[in-house]
Structure 1
Amino acid sequence: MSSPSESGAQRRPGDRGSAELHDEVESHRTIGEVSTVDPTPSHPPGIPHEVLDADAHRGDGSYDHTPSGSLAVVRRRVWLRVLQAGFALFALSVVYYLISLYQVWSVGRADQQQPVDAIVVMGAAQYDGRPSPQLAARLDHVVELWPEGLAPLVVVTGGNIPGDRFTEASASAAYLIERGVPDASILREDEGSNSFESLEATAAMLAERGLDEVLIVTDPYHALRSRETAEELGLTARVSSTDTSVVGGSDAVGRHLEEAAGVAIGRIIGFERLADLVD
């Protein structure tokens, strides 16, 4: 049997060879390197890069994971989208209004006269039985249309205000009779206090006679709203505006602008509700 000196010193428990010690040192070194790495990712999961602002970005390339930075950016983005939506809605409203304004202008200058069941004259002010210049211009246009035989009836419209002895309808009828329109061919709607009420009553009068096609006579700026109101009430309506309207210049511009707003709103909420709001 060889002696310990010949076979080398016998290992005691706990003794390690140089190779084992080297492996253990390398293992500890690797573990130390791993432990020095920040386990928190530089970009928090679930939050896109664009949500994190500069305030949440650290100088070492990582992010502050407290919610304050990201929430502030989210709020700003929400407000930005609200502002963008508001601007888009405003732009669409402007375009919609401009389209309505063009239609008010173009329909007021279009003469759609053709055979119908009745010519309807929209009322305007009268002075103790005498039509105002604005109403007289409308009636003069009816006098021009009547000989052409476009309709067997003329409907004159409009009530009165407290204290007046005459209605707009009665003043209009007397004016037309003096100029050759037969009294028997004139229907009087003398209760309406605004365009909607007058056209509503006119539609009922004509419906009793089985009629529904009308040619509306009014001022150019008022033509489109009158036609669309009549259509809302079930009439088949066309317009023939007077070309001698006394409303001109800046006053006409203002009336066109107002009517464009009325038409734009009336198409959304209905012309009956519009009349309740503005007339």
Structure 2
Amino acid sequence: MKKKRMWQISFIIGIFFLLYISWTGYSIWSFSLTDNKTQTDAAIVLGAASKGEEPSPVFEKRIDHAIRLYKENYVENLIFTGGKGEKTAIAESEAAEQYALDKDIPAQDILIETKSQITEQNLQYANSILQHHDLNTATLVSDPLHMKRAVTIAEDLNMNVVSSPASDSAYKSLRTKIPFFLREWFFYTGYQILSLFRF
């Protein structure tokens, strides 16, 4: 009887786990389609890799989207995030800053942080910038499938944010989307589970 009972409990736990990861997967995918274009104080561009002193193609698409938001008067400032990698000459955010300057964005409207290495740090340092400059609202910019986790982390930091994913993401084909989706699925689920032990 004990073995049967244990098997039943394990089966129920397994079903709940499958339902949970299915829900998180659906949540990530459906949220990637949401674009809340509205006026905010700043666009926070989440970092991606840079090549030498130039943004990677993935990062470039994110920056381009933020620049469009700025030029269409949705945001008043651009905040670029991302630190220096082991094999890069400058920080990701510095590469983004130069890219934006080359696109005629005024230097006084660009803010950067150069320390972060992961999404959570991107947002922690960006939040410090918002507070330091008395900016209250922000539009998060990243790739569509990254947005659910990014917004969740930002809200946990008590940031007032909306989501506007890069409309011309470098991840277009299923061959590139599926690995990125699975990666986000893993990290978002892990973040949610770890959050249960933080509070």
TM score, norm. by length of structure 2:
0.92
Cα shift readout 1:129-150 (whole Å, capped 9, x = no counterpart): 1111111111111122112212
Specify the code of the residue in structure 2 equivalent to 1:150: Y
- Structure 1 position 260 matched with structure 2 position 185: yes
**Residues 1:108 and 2:35 aligned together:** no
C-alpha distance in structure 2 between counterparts of 1:164 and 1:150, whole Å: 32
Instruction: Count residues in correspondence.
Output: 197
Per the alignment, in what secondary structure is the counterpart of residue 152 of structure 1?
strand
Name the SS of the counterpart of 1:158 in structure 2.
coil
CA deviation after TM superposition for structure 1 residue 96, in Å: 0.9
What is the CA deviation profile of residues 109-129 of structure 1, one whole-angstrom value per residue up to 9, with x for unaligned ones? 110121112100011111111
Alpha-carbon deviations, 1:58-109, whole Å to 9, x = none? xxxxxxxxxxxxxxxxxxx121111111111111111111111111111111
Which residue does 1:243 correspond to in 2? 167
Q: Is the 8 A contact 1:213 1:235 kept in 2?
A: yes
Distance 1:158 1:191 in 2: 6
* Residues 1:192 and 2:116 aligned together: yes
Q: Which amino acid aligns with 2:191?
A: G
Task: Percent identity, please.
Answer: 25
Per-residue deviation, 1:212:
3.4
- 1:270 counterpart SS class: helix
1:225 aligned to 2:149? yes
Distance in 2, matches of 1:143 and 1:153, equals 10
Shift of 1:255: 1.5
Q: Please list every run of 5 or more consecutive structure 2 residues that lacks an aligned counterpart in the other structure.
A: none
CA contact under 8 A between 1:203 and 1:212: conserved in structure 2? Answer: no
In 2, the alpha carbon distance for the partners of 1:168 and 1:261 equals 24
SS at match of 2:95: helix
CA distance in structure 2 between the aligned counterparts of 1:152 and 1:143, rounded to whole angstroms:
10
Higher relative contact order (CA 8 A, sep 6+): 2
Counterpart contact for 1:97–1:261, Cα < 8 Å: no
Q: 1:112 aligns to what SS in structure 2?
A: coil
Find the counterpart in structure 2 of residue 150 from structure 1. 74
Residue 163 of structure 1, CA deviation:
4.2
Q: Look up the equivalent residue of 2:8 and give its one-letter code.
A: Q
Normalised to the residue count of structure 1, the TM-score between the two structures is 0.67
User: For 1:173, which of 87, 97, 102 is the aligned residue?
Assistant: 97
Gaps of 5+ in 1: 1-76, 274-279
Instruction: Determine the C-alpha separation between the residues in 2 that align with 1:78 and 1:122.
Output: 51
Number of the residue aligned with 1:234: 158
Provide the secondary structure at the position in 1 that maps to 2:75. Answer: coil
RMSD between aligned alpha carbons? 1.8
Match of 1:213 among 137, 146, 155: 137
After TM superposition, which residue ranges in structure 1, 4 or more long, deviate above 6 angstroms?
none
Residues 50, 88 of structure 2: 8 Å contact kept: no
